[in-house]
Amino acid sequence: MGFLCPEDAKDRVKIQKANFQKPALSAAPITFTLIGINVFVYVLQLIVPDLIDSLFYANVGSTSEYGSLVRVFTSAFAHSESQITHILFNMFSLYILGSQIEPIMGRWRFITLYVFSILGGGLGYLMLATEFGYVVGASGAVFGLMGAYLVFLIVLKLNASQMFLIIGINLVLGFLPGIAWEAHVGGLIVGAATGYVFVSTRNAERKNLQIIGLVAIAVLLAALWVIGNAGLTN
């Protein structure tokens, strides 16, 4: 696919071939860092009793500790202790998607995409979940990566059929009992929107438009956070 957003672009865009012989760790260091944090937190959860109670996010209103914005982020690095498949599936997906997307986007853009996708997942759960409950897991962020990658393929006129299938299957599976499909939908939408901003402003001369687009998404996410919490009581 080439590099969408070269970190060192000045007056023109430099199109480079992806170096598939480059070690995965050096090609996608943020991806491996995120995986490492998730695994570290999961190990701590196994060691420290009830640690998950300090990490999960609940849609109970932002004035409550459990519904705070901080909890949206802490919950994205915690996983179910009773189902090891929860973290295994999320980390495998993060590795596959991150190792593809991060070298294309660059580190800071990838971090921005991941952060926005976490927020999207939290907002999805806040606004779509019909009953008060709690959520943990990186799946909202992972779905954000899926959404962004799908947009990349579509905009660059590459074959996106396989990605459509993968997303469709995972969305359907998300409706199984005990899975927060709301976070999946929220992360997917925000990830796709963020991905579109990046891919549509990948030329160096459109850098200002990229910044404006990202600020607009951030403002919209902030507004939705306020609106979503406005009707909740603690």
pLDDT per position as a tens digit, 151-209 = 999 999 999 999 999 999 999 988 888 789 999 999 999 999 999 999 999 888 888 99
Query: In the chain, what are the domain boundaries?
Result: 24-230
pLDDT bin (cut points 50, 70, 90) of residue 4 is low
Instruction: For residue 128, give the 3-state DSSP assignment.
Output: helix
Q: Given this model, what pLDDT does residue 10 score?
A: 40
**pTM attached to this predicted model:** 0.88
Task: Please name the CATH architecture into which domain 24-230 falls.
Answer: Up-down Bundle (1.20)
pLDDT of residue 21 exceeding 80: no
Residue 139 is a catalytic residue: yes
Q: What's the pLDDT score for residue 226?
A: 95
pLDDT of residue 2: 39
Phi–psi pair at 57, nearest 5 degrees:
-110, 135
Mean pLDDT score across all residues of the chain: 89
pLDDT, position 114: 98
Tell me the two tokens of residue 20.
């598939």
pLDDT at 221: 97
Question: Is it the case that residue 6 has pLDDT exceeding 50?
Answer: no
The pLDDT value recorded for residue 45 is 96
Percentage of the chain exceeding pLDDT 70: 90
Closest CA to 147 of 108, 187, 176: 187
184 as an active site residue: the answer is yes
Task: Tell me which of 62, 93, 117, 184 is the catalytic residue.
Answer: 184
pLDDT of 11 over the 90 cut: no
Rounded average pLDDT over 65-81: 96
Label residues 90-123 b or e (16+ Cβ within 10 Å = b). Answer: bbebbbebbebbbbbbbeebbebbbbbbbbbbbb
pLDDT at 1: 39
Identified catalytic residue from 62, 75, 117, 139: 139
pLDDT over 60 at 220, yes or no: yes
pLDDT value of residue 66:
95
